[in-house]
Amino acid sequence: MIIATSSVNIDENTKLAEDASEENEEAIAKLKTTIDGVVTVSTQAPFNDGREHSDGDQWYIESDGVYTAMYDYKNGGWSEKQWDQDSLNVKTLSALTADLGQVNAGTINGVTIIGGSISQDNITGGNHYQLWADYNGFHYRTTVVSSGHHQDIKMNDSGLVISNNFPSPITGRTPAPTVISGSDVITDQVTATGIVTGTISSTSDSTTNLYASSRVHSGNFTLSGGSVFGTLNGDVYFEYGSGDSGNSGASLHAASFNKMSQLSIKRNIQDVSGDYALAQIAGTDIKRFEYTDTDNSQQTNIGPIIDDKNVVGSRQYSVSHDLLTSKADGVSVDNEIGLLMAAVKELTKRNSELTIRVAKLEREVQQ
């Protein structure tokens, strides 16, 4: 006798059985290899493959010919296993994820290294060389061990940053870092013993410009704001040709030339008599001449000549010592003007005296 406690739909249960069979066949199709139900190789993690597994069974996951994981069956379930490092003996490790302490290696070829910092240092020949990378950028530092002075080169979002703590020989202070970013160079000071260039140009317009926030220094010559000066002896030469050419001076054109003359910057002040000024001018030969390295199109030159070819006693031309520069290679225009002013004053004085005498004589004659 059969007692039914509920109605049974035979068609529905048949369909459920068919669906379960199709799912089971699809799962079985995912298995690539099965050896007596002990070792299973699949493309995915363990799932219900419709087989009964026993303790000790193994399940491998394979992807593109590479085993990526291993599972053991125990106590009715699968658990993922890992290889102990002591048991590894391979030529190539691929897709390796590990927590490593100290790694000693020869060459590491990789795509991405993510970490706090990478560093290396060495002391050679009295210098300490350091190389490291961290979240501030890639750094290279050279330190002079004896003085502690160092130079840093760093690459970060700002560009290539070059800095050092060497005091500037010009200002005595530590210069601001130099930043090279794209086509821009931002620097506190430009120092060079010689710069050879065809053109210094700006891409923003058609002008040719050299920009510096502080100063431009080359050899003994410095440009700073509105000042031009020599850093050693104060002498600045404007010559034809390249630097230190030794050629004759170039012509200077300006609206005016102003000489500093404040009492606060002068010392050892002495009088210059009119008689002395007249004697110095009278003892100086004034000639008309041309410079040897210029053509006849240049303007006519009139003035003193310093005889640097003959020795004292046989010189062709005389020039007052007061008119010579400290190196005796030029004539001081300031001293020329000063002597001329003193001479004019003396002549004015003498002329006044003569005028008075003439007037007195004329009155005497008229009487």
Q: What is the pLDDT of residues 62-71, one digit of tens each?
A: 988 888 889 9
Quickly state the pLDDT bin for 245 (edges 50, 70, 90): low
Least-confidence region, from 184-188, 208-212, 318-322: 208-212
Question: What SS3 state is found at 252?
Answer: coil
- Number of residues in the chain: 367
- Asked whether residue 187 carries a pLDDT value surpassing 60, the answer given is yes
DSSP letter at 333?
A: H
| Max avg pLDDT among 156-170, 218-232, 243-257 | 156-170
- Asked whether residue 105 carries a pLDDT value surpassing 80, the answer given is no
- Which pLDDT value is given to residue 179? 83
Report d(CA 272, CA 344) in Å as an integer: 12
> How deeply is 280 buried, as exposed, middle or buried, from its count of CB atoms within 10 A (0-12, 13-18, 19+)?
buried
Report d(CA 347, CA 335) in Å as an integer: 18
Quickly state the pLDDT bin for 6 (edges 50, 70, 90): very low
Least-confidence region, from 33-37, 108-112, 333-337: 33-37
Report d(CA 305, CA 286) in Å as an integer: 7
Report d(CA 346, CA 338) in Å as an integer: 12
Report d(CA 138, CA 105) in Å as an integer: 22
pTM, rounded to two decimals: 0.44
Tokens of 198: 């065809």
CA count, 13 A, side-chain hemisphere, 335: 15
| Max avg pLDDT among 36-40, 97-101, 226-230 | 36-40
- Which pLDDT value is given to residue 198? 43
